[in-house]
Amino acid sequence: MSTEAASAKGTTNVLFDRIVFAGWVVTVSAVSLRILFASSRNDLVATYADAGARWLHGLPLYSTSSGFIYSPLIAGFFVPLSLVPHSVSAILWRLLNASVFAGAIFCWLKSGIHDRISEGLFSLVFLLVLPLAIGNLNNGQVNPLIIALLIFSILAAYHDHWMLCAICVGIAAYFKIYPLCVGLLLTLLYPRQLAWRLIIVIVLLGALSFVLQRPSYVLEQYQRWISSRAADNRRRNMNIAPRDFAMLLQMFHVYLSARVFLLLQVLAGGLVAIVCWLGRDWPENRRLVCLLTLASCWMLLFGPSTESATYVVLAPAIVLAMVQASQQGVPLWMRFLLLASFVVLLSALIANSFLHLKKGVHSMSVQPFGALLFTIFAVPWLTTNRFWGGKRTRLS
């Protein structure tokens, strides 16, 4: 390549980087402006701040199975949101969410775990992730923060920072219990380094709850939390039913009992664990890509309460796979599956945001169908040796 051509390419890359960065800034700014003028619409931060205020004043956190659904510890973490005006807390929360989410993806890219994604492709990753994340940033969901914590936990394992790994998994699990599956998969691969640390962190985080408020009050809230989660059977109401693999089955008039689907969830989780375990001799970057990808698929298709907004959890895995696979020469049929899964998920996001379709089996099966397409792509992609190069293979 001539000097002039290289210079022109570099200028084009810089311009593209600036456009993508500007896109993120404009998106977050637009969401913040919406909060200033219509703070009561599509905003979950009021629920978080109310939980923080209730925790601060020793009031019950859980009166029904809806409303605030996270652990008492998280209510304690939300106390700062209750101490400032709502518009300020709502904007600060979104800035934190967007920053941690984007920061986790950037750190993942810089680590080189997806080893075919060069720095010149970083902006493409952020461009593709943005439309899948807009909805969560707009209404203040915790999902971007949760997947960011899980990405940081895997990165910490990659860099041998085991206590940080355990802390990230522990915090994510106190938001929603099912992210603990990432910690369990990491423990399967690194039992000596992580098992005892993860147990200690989970216990200490729980103990922290009792330090932040009266022990009798905290104990009562944990009892209420467990009861409210056990009573939250969303499958009985189509308006709030989980958008998961069971919803796909309902399209074909296959209805599973709660016990049968629980068994299916366990079996699917076991298959993910088996694939990760069989890949213990793979290069470490490939093992961890496999863990992030399949764990994300499991959380969406077989997690306990998958909502439309939860699908942002899959966004990093699917976008990273799209960019990586474009550099690996995967077969055309696999590329079609991957692109189709992205298009389906993006189309569902647009439909949910703007078309306000009536909730039913068909409309609520679009996102799990996209996740299923990605899973069908991911299994042969992750298990085919010729797609992957070599990096360190440490597993001791």
Which helix H or strand E contains 1, and what residues bound it?
Answer: none
What whole-number distance in Å separates Cα of residue 338 and Cα of residue 347? 14
DSSP string, 320-373: HHHHHHTTTT--HHHHHHHHHHHHHHHHHHHIIIII-PPP-TTGGGHHHHHHHH
Q: How confident is the model at residue 122 (pLDDT cuts 50, 70, 90)?
A: very high
Q: How confident is the model at residue 247 (pLDDT cuts 50, 70, 90)?
A: very high
Q: Quote the mean pLDDT of the chain.
A: 91
What whole-number distance in Å separates Cα of residue 375 and Cα of residue 290? 11
Distances (CA, A) of 6 to 9, 104, 127, 178: 5, 30, 23, 47
Q: How confident is the model at residue 39 (pLDDT cuts 50, 70, 90)?
A: low
pLDDT for the residue 170: 97
Q: Where are the domains of the chain?
A: 42-387
- Condensed to tens digits (0 to 9), the pLDDT of residues 296-327 reads 999 999 987 788 889 999 999 999 999 999 99
pLDDT for the residue 2: 60
Residue 264: how many other CB atoms lie within 10 Å: 16
What whole-number distance in Å separates Cα of residue 390 and Cα of residue 382? 14
pLDDT for the residue 94: 94
pLDDT at residue 391 tops 60: no
- Condensed to tens digits (0 to 9), the pLDDT of residues 180-199 reads 999 999 999 999 999 999 99
Instruction: Name which residue leads in pLDDT, 110 or 10.
Output: 110
